[in-house]
Structure 1
Amino acid sequence: MIWCMLFAYRPLLRVYRSEFVDTLRLSIPIVIAQLGVVLMGVTDNLFVGRLLGAVPLGAAGLANSLSFLMSSIGVGGLSVVAALVSKAHSQNDAAAVNRLFRAGLRVGVLLSLLLGGLSVLLAYNFDLFGQTPEVTRLSRDFMLILSASLLPLLVFVAARQLCDGLRYPRVAMVITLSALAINALFNYVLITGIGPFPELGLMGSAMATLLSRLFMAGAMLLYIYRANRFAPFLTSAFASLPCADEAWTILRLGIPGGLTFFFEVATFSLAVVIVGWLGEDRLAAHQIAINMASVTYMMATGISSAAAIRVGSAVGRASREGILRAGIAAFGLSVGFMSVTALLFLTANDWLVTLYIRDNPEVMRIAAALVIMAGFFQLSDGIQVVALGGLRGLSDVNVPTLITLFSYWGVALPLSYVLAFPFKMDAVGVWIGLLAGLTLAAILLTWRFFRRVRRVDLAMTVPSDNTVPIVH
């Protein structure tokens, strides 16, 4: 199958060889960094599932999903900064890069306070989700700790936009992988209580996430302000430059972009709630399958981020052909990667489930079936997220937000509920509904991207005469 795919791609590879190489070189560190972020949640679930059992696993999974839902507006909204930085850098405007960096940090702090408060409010109203009393109690305490970690998380996300936009994505990659190791270490010692560390059980896993995110924020800021490569953008001459306009631009473009991310994440988070109504075994099984799908999705978001950066750079150069080539290269890479992961999910589903749990045959049986469903929607998931990245590079955020709202909340969620309950298709019905929404979003967003490429007004992107050149 893979050889047939490569043969089919040969003409595309020949024409777009340099585009693929450049996109791949940029996206691999971003993919690894994105994978590291989502693997923190996976690490939490692996340790909780192995050490504490199915009910704490379901509670941790639900809390992680809802906390990620709250942070998604900030994470998705701040991701527009990298494309703006890339555009300013391609126009040789160091002052604009500086203003965007400072504005991004301010917006990150603002969003963390707002979203953290909403997350706490949600934690104290967990009864609304109709879960069992034990799952509700454990999830509430877990989510309160995760709420405190939103500030360092969004500060890290805001700071890394400078690195990604200037095409230094390895910085975030190294820091994230280091944080992943810290998270795994503290998961084990705080859950079990080794040496001087207290035995905190499930809450130890949440504390491990908080500690790892504090490390990420501190390490990223320390590196940016000490590395010589960023010095041209952080000179004292720029310190007094106002950045209110840039902050407003980030909010104006970022909020719709964040809502786009929110609608998709909310769909999957609410799907967790729907599955929870079916029982604790199904909730644990669903969490295993959705964790695997989240890993491949976050890796596809790395390609999406590379697409946004390269499209933004092409917009800064006023190159329509560059925009088109950057988009096609990203689509090709995403389709190729997600095809491989789909094959893995379809053929190794039983083995993948054993990585999470071994002592509950019913959970393992349901999870194995859901992993197969996850394999079917890999292509749709990869295509729609890359289309969003390309549109973000074009600063097109409003229509994509409406498309995702309709696809996920107008189609995926209602269909998931109908298939799970009236049609009695159980958890599999929920996943069929998710597949339908993702496929619709992939079609509409891809159409939107190529339509916008033809119509974008490149005359508006020509740099002004008052730009401050970058001195290397």
Structure 2
Amino acid sequence: MPTTPRPLLLTYRAEFTDTLRLSIPIIIAQLGVVLMGVTDNLFVGRLLGAVPLGAAGLANSLSFLMSSIGVGGLSVVAALVSKANNQNDPAAVNRLFRAGLRVAGLLSILLGGLSVLLAYNFSLFGQTPEVTRLARNFMLILSASLLPLLVFVAARQLCDGLRYPRVAMAITLSALGINALFNYLFIRGVGPFPALGLMGSALATLLSRTFMAGALLVYIYRTTHFRAYLKTGLTSLASTSEAWIILRLGIPGGLTFFFEVATFSLAVVIVGWLGEAQLAAHQIAINMASVTYMMATGISSAAAIRVSAAVGQASREGAWRAGVAAFLLSVSFMSVMAIVFLTANDWLVTLYIRDSPEVMTIAASLVIIAGFFQLSDGVQVVALGGLRGLSDVNVPTLITLFSYWIVALPLSYVLAFPFGMDAIGVWIGLLAGLTIAAVLLTWRFFRRVQRTTLFVDASMANP
């Protein structure tokens, strides 16, 4: 006789529990990183007005674009650490950690240099003279913060891969408080601190990121949690092969992240051509969408770690269950966020600005569209995490390139200008690209899991 199917919740209860236990600290840590940019914008918008808000938003977006290759590329290390740990290979964990730090240093030099070059050529983006001047100086300071940011990201991969995500969470939350405090002190010039205006906000970010990198490295080398993986009896220096593995798998992963971030950063430029009010409104709405997106990336990171752990144990069923659990959690969370965006859009906008009715009206409309693409955004980022756990990086990069640069950006421009839909047209284009990416990446993940040959040598890149 056929057996009665078990309810989905009972079938995946253990999977949900483990994914949540791992993802919640990662989500909070990811959220804390994004909230630094949100904090900058909140202080700038409230204390300095719409034009500095637009400049800070543009500089933050472009700086995040430069760092996205490094942040996305280094994220593969956690999956590799998880796999090595599940294969009982502490020496490999040691080498991966040290190689990750070396790659972080290399990428910070390359990406920091590109960021400075971009800052000195800000006029290419066609913004107003005042926005260009303010954004250039803001971005130069942010360029200096790339080194501590990427060192923190590289060190965090060891913690996440070994399932100690609360470490980075606590440090990030502390840094968030430091960032908020120094935003207020440096912008206003409280007590002995000089009134630096917009540049004070950028300096606060630099100090916060430096604290994050230093605190996490001190914790790793001082606590007993990681001692077994950092023994001098193991390989004391990262071999060139580990660094090349991280670059081989990480650069396509970083480019995948880059293509998505670049789409939203270039959307900022397109909106800037429409006017300062549209630019400020876009920045408000994109900040909100970035918060929910980064929370979904926490679930995505948990998916990558759990899928790679299953690969290390040669368990196709484990990889499948880890992926399904992550998808269901992301869809549930992003559905709630969609409801919030659709029903509380006006109130959310007032958190950023209250003295510009035009900006508030435009932003409220954009937040509604952001509500509609929450599900697509949550699904595509979890699919990317699952594929990263399978060391499948090349085809997902092409999918994101197609979805965002072939579909989303051209469609955004066409709807905004020839069709006269203004900033709303830009956001409809973004929605279309995210939806296509979500469908293709999800199909790719489940297709790859079904291939039994995947578990013969899961460290190899996809064909």
Match of 2:342 in 1: 346
Deviation track 1:182-207 (CA, whole Å, cap 9, x = no partner) reads 00000000000011111000000000
Residue 333 (structure 2) pairs with residue 333 (structure 1): no
Residue 346 (structure 2) pairs with residue 367 (structure 1): no
- Secondary structure of 1:39's counterpart equals helix
Partners of 1:337 and 1:437 in 2: CA distance = 21
Partners of 1:462 and 1:210 in 2: CA distance = 38
TM-fit CA distance, 1:229: 0.8
Deviation track 1:346-384 (CA, whole Å, cap 9, x = no partner) reads 000000000000000000000000000000000000000
**Given that residues 278 and 359 in structure 2 are in contact (C-alpha distance below 8 angstroms), is that contact kept between their aligned partners in structure 1?**
yes
Partners of 1:156 and 1:59 in 2: CA distance = 26
- Secondary structure of 1:238's counterpart equals coil
- What residue ranges of structure 1 are gaps of 5+ in the alignment? 1-9, 464-472
State which of 309, 312, 319 in structure 1 corresponds to 2:308: 312
Match of 1:7 in 2: none
Residue 419 (structure 2) pairs with residue 426 (structure 1): no
Match of 2:201 in 1: 205
TM-fit CA distance, 1:246: 0.7
Amino acid across the alignment from 1:231: R
Match of 1:149 in 2: 145
1:186-205 equivalence runs, <5 A: 186-205=182-201
State which of 27, 32, 35 in structure 2 corresponds to 1:36: 32
RMSD of aligned alpha carbons:
1.1
1:419-458 equivalence runs, <5 A: 419-458=415-454
CA distance change for structure 1 residues 403 and 462 in 2, over 3 Å: closer, same or farther?
closer
TM-fit CA distance, 1:455: 1.2
Partners of 1:118 and 1:301 in 2: CA distance = 26
1:276-295 equivalence runs, <5 A: 276-295=272-291
Match of 1:62 in 2: 58
Partners of 2:211 and 2:445 in 1: CA distance = 37
TM-fit CA distance, 1:13: 1.1
TM-fit CA distance, 1:242: 4.5
State which of 63, 70, 74 in structure 2 corresponds to 1:74: 70
**Given that residues 99 and 238 in structure 2 are in contact (C-alpha distance below 8 angstroms), is that contact kept between their aligned partners in structure 1?**
no
Match of 1:233 in 2: 229
Partners of 1:65 and 1:457 in 2: CA distance = 40
TM-fit CA distance, 1:238: 2.0
Partners of 1:239 and 1:141 in 2: CA distance = 43
TM-fit CA distance, 1:241: 4.9
Amino acid across the alignment from 2:360: M
CA distance change for structure 1 residues 208 and 241 in 2, over 3 Å: closer, same or farther?
closer
**Given that residues 403 and 436 in structure 2 are in contact (C-alpha distance below 8 angstroms), is that contact kept between their aligned partners in structure 1?**
yes
TM-score, scaled relative to structure 1: 0.95
CA distance change for structure 1 residues 335 and 459 in 2, over 3 Å: closer, same or farther?
closer
Counting aligned pairs with the same residue, the percent is: 84
Residue 82 (structure 2) pairs with residue 86 (structure 1): yes
State which of 98, 101, 106 in structure 1 corresponds to 2:102: 106
Amino acid across the alignment from 2:283: Q
Partners of 1:11 and 1:258 in 2: CA distance = 38
**Given that residues 259 and 401 in structure 1 are in contact (C-alpha distance below 8 angstroms), is that contact kept between their aligned partners in structure 2?**
yes
**Given that residues 318 and 458 in structure 1 are in contact (C-alpha distance below 8 angstroms), is that contact kept between their aligned partners in structure 2?**
no
- What residue ranges of structure 2 are gaps of 5+ in the alignment? 1-5
Match of 2:259 in 1: 263
TM-score, scaled relative to structure 2: 0.97
Partners of 1:181 and 1:35 in 2: CA distance = 13
**Given that residues 317 and 462 in structure 1 are in contact (C-alpha distance below 8 angstroms), is that contact kept between their aligned partners in structure 2?**
no
**Given that residues 94 and 238 in structure 2 are in contact (C-alpha distance below 8 angstroms), is that contact kept between their aligned partners in structure 1?**
no
Partners of 2:391 and 2:236 in 1: CA distance = 27
Question: Deviating runs (4+, > 4 A) in structure 1?
Answer: none
Residue 166 (structure 2) pairs with residue 170 (structure 1): yes
Partners of 2:424 and 2:250 in 1: CA distance = 34
State which of 369, 372, 379 in structure 2 corresponds to 1:376: 372
Partners of 2:8 and 2:126 in 1: CA distance = 50
Amino acid across the alignment from 2:100: G
CA distance change for structure 1 residues 304 and 462 in 2, over 3 Å: closer, same or farther?
closer
TM-fit CA distance, 1:94: 0.3
**Given that residues 338 and 378 in structure 1 are in contact (C-alpha distance below 8 angstroms), is that contact kept between their aligned partners in structure 2?**
yes
Partners of 1:238 and 1:15 in 2: CA distance = 41
Partners of 1:435 and 1:265 in 2: CA distance = 14
Match of 1:96 in 2: 92
Amino acid across the alignment from 2:285: A
Residue 250 (structure 2) pairs with residue 254 (structure 1): yes
Partners of 1:442 and 1:212 in 2: CA distance = 34
Match of 1:401 in 2: 397
Deviation track 1:409-465 (CA, whole Å, cap 9, x = no partner) reads 0000000000000000000000000000000000000000000001152553499xx
**Given that residues 318 and 461 in structure 1 are in contact (C-alpha distance below 8 angstroms), is that contact kept between their aligned partners in structure 2?**
no
- Secondary structure of 1:197's counterpart equals coil
Residue 411 (structure 2) pairs with residue 386 (structure 1): no
Match of 1:469 in 2: none
Amino acid across the alignment from 1:248: W
**Given that residues 373 and 432 in structure 1 are in contact (C-alpha distance below 8 angstroms), is that contact kept between their aligned partners in structure 2?**
yes
- Secondary structure of 1:277's counterpart equals helix
**Given that residues 319 and 458 in structure 1 are in contact (C-alpha distance below 8 angstroms), is that contact kept between their aligned partners in structure 2?**
no
Partners of 2:361 and 2:238 in 1: CA distance = 58
Amino acid across the alignment from 1:382: G
Partners of 1:285 and 1:20 in 2: CA distance = 37
Match of 2:3 in 1: none
Residue 14 (structure 2) pairs with residue 18 (structure 1): yes
